[in-house]
């Protein structure tokens, strides 16, 4: 069977307008797919040159396949479970700068070059003080990019129309600002001159971005079946979910030059991405974190199963729509659409997401992902968010480390685990002992950065919830606070026989 290449399939070639640092699964299933879609649908006509950001990578395999690979998108699309695939052909070349640095630098001489995209992991946007302009290559991604930009500045004599639009996808806050800051630091360290600094600052656009798509990657367990289906061998098959979101903070010209919104892609151009970052953390991540202790103690293993269960599913929807969304400053329609997209992602039949895999460091996750919604809800509604607080009570119960007599493999900092082990050793099921552990947890400044017992009514709510979980069982406890449609209540067994 032949390996995928441009010799065995019909593809398109495009002028090299994008240089991309990173050849891994995420960018190929996300940014490159978007470029491919824009090329097909709106004549973007842009090819990608991939640069391998570290010494070992996939550029040799990419080159052997002429930059081609097959992308499978699996998940809920327009309300239905869909699996579809296509060959992505926007990558024109792949370069390993550790083997051929001069070829890498020649990209600076390309007058058509306009975009820089990167995903070099969260550690990739970092300052390495030992990097020098003369290195071939520099160790850091910002060092490599600085060298490329300086060569471009020299070749085109600082022309303002030869600056680039830079779209980092690394998962760090204000990723574009961070990258620009490091490049300007190298410009000073390497004594590249005030005119180069001005050119970087005024003629290049560094966008802050937020990216979102689950990309499981290479489907090792089913590649034989996939190969038979495709009729060719592809060593770079990649799988991703149907959902995608790219929030790009930048001036209007970025939207005009990067026509994603013209072909139906879920790309948001904005001058302030913070509401979208908050939305993702509160809704997507917050829903996950709220669900874990409730669903797992209920007896469920997977995220998808949680949504399919009438009781746990209703609990999560009540928390999401009635307690998280009202704390966010975006249009109701946007919040509703994003929340329903999140629920569709949770129900994706092609992804089996274990609750326990999300449970790592749940205390700190609750602090950053859920507690802000709790506090904002109280501030705005002058009431307690019962479902989000029930989740905290369930989290305390979860950290007992036991479900139906079987141990739970808790994963957290030793100090957190030691704290809960001691606290639970003092609990005998009495109201006094329940009150004591709740007070100790809520007043722990190391957990929350504040004393939650000071919030009126909050401690009593958690005490009632934890007492209900401990003495009645998780199922009865959930039903005490969660509204279910009459049709959902039928045949729900609250107590075990």
Within this chain, do residues 164 and 281 fall inside the same structural domain, yes or no?
A: no
Same domain, 280 and 334: yes
For the segment 283-293, the average pLDDT, to the nearest whole number, is 95
Q: Could you tell me if 286 and 264 lie in one domain?
A: no
Q: Could you report the per-residue pLDDT of 364-396, keeping only the tens digit for each?
A: 999 999 999 999 999 999 999 999 999 999 999
* pLDDT recorded at residue 495: 33
Q: Does residue 177 carry a pLDDT above 70? A: yes
Could you report the per-residue pLDDT of 27-56, keeping only the tens digit for each?
999 999 999 999 999 999 999 999 999 999
Asked if residue 121 has pLDDT above 90, the reply is: no
Please indicate, yes or no, whether residues 259 and 283 belong to a single structural domain of this protein: no
Mean of the per-residue pLDDT values for the chain? Answer: 94
Question: Per-residue pLDDT averaged across 446-467, rounded?
Answer: 97
User: Residue 355 maps to which CATH number?
Assistant: 1.10.1040.10
pLDDT of residue 496: 35
Mean pLDDT of 227-238: 97
Q: Give the model confidence (pLDDT) of 334-356 as tens digits.
A: 899 999 999 999 999 988 788 99
pLDDT at 488: 45
Pick the last residue of a domain from 241, 270, 299: 270
Does residue 490 have a pLDDT over 60? no
Residues 166, 120, single domain; the answer is yes
- 1 within some domain: no
**247 and 316 together in one domain:** no
In a domain, 444, yes or no: yes
The whole-number pLDDT of residue 123 equals 80
Last residue of a domain, one of 243, 270, 297: 270
Residue 11 placed within a domain = no
Say what the pLDDT of residue 493 is: 40
Structural domain total, the chain: 2
Which pLDDT tens digit goes with each residue over 7-19?
999 999 999 999 9
Residues 6+ apart with CB under 8 A from 432: none
**289 and 258 in a common domain:** no
Domain of 132, CATH number, reads 3.40.50.720
Task: Work out the percent of the chain whose per-residue pLDDT is above 90.
Answer: 90
pTM of the model: 0.84
Q: In this model, does residue 437 exceed pLDDT 90? A: yes
Mean local confidence (pLDDT), 283-290: 95
Across 473-496, average pLDDT: 66
Q: In the prediction, which pLDDT does 313 show?
A: 95
Q: What is the mean pLDDT of residues 470-494?
A: 71
* 2 occurs within a structural domain: no
Q: Say yes or no: 217 and 351 in one domain.
A: no
Work out the average pLDDT over 298-304.
Answer: 95
- Do 315 and 363 belong together in one domain? yes
pLDDT of residue 427 exceeding 90, the answer is yes
Q: Give residue-wise pLDDT tens across range 310-333.
A: 999 999 999 999 999 999 998 999
Quick one: 425 and 299 in the same domain? Answer: yes
The answer to whether residue 67 is domain-embedded is yes
Give a yes or no: residue 243 inside a domain: yes
One domain, residues 282 and 258 = no
Q: Would you state the pLDDT for residue 80? A: 87
Predicted pLDDT at 353? 83
Is 3 inside any structural domain?
Answer: no
Which of 270, 294, 309 terminates a domain? The answer is 270
Same domain for 293 and 261: no
The yes-or-no verdict on residue 424 having pLDDT over 90 is yes
pLDDT at 147: 98
Any domain includes 75: yes
What percent of the chain shows pLDDT beyond 70? Answer: 97
pLDDT range class, residue 216, cuts 50, 70, 90: confident
3-state secondary structure the chain: CCECCCCCCCCCCCCEEEEEECCCHHHHHCHHHHHHHHHHHHCCCCEEEEECCCCCCCHHHHHHCCCCEEEEEEEEECCEEEEEEEEECCEEEEECCCCCHHHHHHHHHCCCCCEEEECCCCCCCCCCCCCCCCCCCCCCHHHHHHHHHHHHHHHCCCCHHHCCEEEECCCCCCHHHHHHHHHHHHHHHCCCCHHHHHHHHHHCEECEEEEECCCCECCHHHHHHHHHHHCCECCCCEEEECCCEEEEECCHHHHHHCCHHHHCCCEEEECCCHHHHHHHHHHHHHHHHHHHHHHHHHCCCEHHHHHHCHHHHHHHHHHHHHHHHHHCCCCHHHHHHHHHHHHHHHCCCCCCCEHHHHCCCHHHHHHHHHHHHHHHHHHHHCCCCHHHHHHHHHHHHHCCCEECCEECCCCCCHHHHHHHHHHHHCCCCCHHHHHHHHHHHHCCHHHHCCCHHHCCCHHHHHHHHHHHHHHHCHHHHHHHHCCCCHHHHCCCCCCCC
Q: pLDDT confidence of 485, banded at 50, 70, 90?
A: low
Range of the structural domain that residue 347 is part of: 274-489
pLDDT digits (tens, 9 = 90+) for 56-115: 999 999 999 999 999 999 998 888 899 999 999 999 999 999 999 999 999 999 999 999
């Amino acid at each position: 069977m032949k390996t995928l290449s441009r010799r065995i399939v019909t593809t398109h070639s495009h002028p090299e307008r994008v240089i991309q640092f990173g050849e891994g699964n995420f960018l190929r299933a996300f940014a490159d797919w978007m470029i491919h879609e824009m090329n097909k649908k709106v004549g973007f006509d842009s090819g990608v040159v991939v640069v391998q950001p570290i010494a070992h990578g996939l550029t040799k395999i990419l080159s052997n396949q002429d930059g081609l690979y097959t992308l499978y998108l699996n998940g809920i699309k327009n309300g239905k479970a869909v699996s579809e695939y296509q060959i992505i052909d926007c990558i024109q070349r792949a370069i390993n700068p550790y083997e051929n640095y001069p070829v890498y630098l020649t990209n600076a001489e390309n007058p058509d070059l306009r975009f820089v995209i990167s995903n070099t992991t969260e550690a990739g946007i970092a300052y390495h003080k030992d990097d020098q302009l003369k290195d071939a290559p520099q160790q850091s991604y910002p060092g490599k990019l600085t060298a490329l930009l300086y060569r471009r500045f020299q070749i085109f004599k600082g022309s303002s129309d030869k600056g680039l639009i830079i779209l980092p996808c690394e998962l760090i806050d204000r990723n574009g600002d961070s990258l620009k800051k490091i490049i300007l630091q190298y410009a000073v360290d390497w004594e590249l001159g005030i005119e180069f600094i001005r050119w970087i600052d005024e003629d290049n656009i560094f966008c802050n971005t937020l990216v979102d798509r689950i990309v499981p990657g290479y489907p090792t367990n089913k590649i034989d079946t996939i190969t038979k289906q495709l009729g060719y061998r592809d060593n770079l098959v990649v799988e991703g979910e149907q959902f995608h979101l790219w929030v790009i903070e930048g001036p209007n010209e970025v939207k005009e030059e990067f026509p994603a919104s013209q072909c139906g892609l879920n790309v948001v151009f904005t001058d302030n991405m913070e509401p979208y970052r908050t939305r993702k953390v509160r809704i997507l991540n917050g829903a996950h974190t709220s669900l874990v202790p409730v669903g797992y103690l209920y007896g469920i293993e997977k995220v998808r199963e949680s949504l399919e269960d009438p009781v746990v599913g209703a609990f999560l929807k009540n928390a999401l729509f009635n307690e998280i969304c009202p704390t966010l400053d975006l249009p109701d329609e946007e919040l509703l659409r994003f929340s329903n997209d999140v629920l569709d992602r949770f129900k994706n039949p092609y992804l089996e997401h274990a609750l326990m895999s999300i449970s790592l460091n749940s205390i700190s996750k609750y602090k950053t992902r859920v507690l802000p919604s709790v506090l904002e809800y109280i501030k705005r509604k002058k009431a307690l968010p019962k479902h989000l607080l029930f989740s905290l009570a369930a989290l305390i119960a979860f950290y007992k480390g036991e479900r139906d007599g079987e141990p739970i493999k808790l994963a957290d900092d030793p100090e957190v685990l030691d704290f809960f082990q001691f606290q639970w050793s003092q609990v005998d099921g009495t109201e006094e002992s329940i009150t004591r552990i709740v007070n100790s947890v809520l007043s722990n400044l190391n957990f929350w950065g504040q004393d939650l017992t000071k919030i009126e009514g909050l401690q009593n709510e958690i005490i009632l919830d934890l007492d209900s979980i401990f003495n009645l069982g998780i199922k009865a406890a959930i039903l005490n606070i969660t509204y279910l449609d009459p049709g959902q209540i039928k045949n729900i067994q609250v107590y075990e026989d």
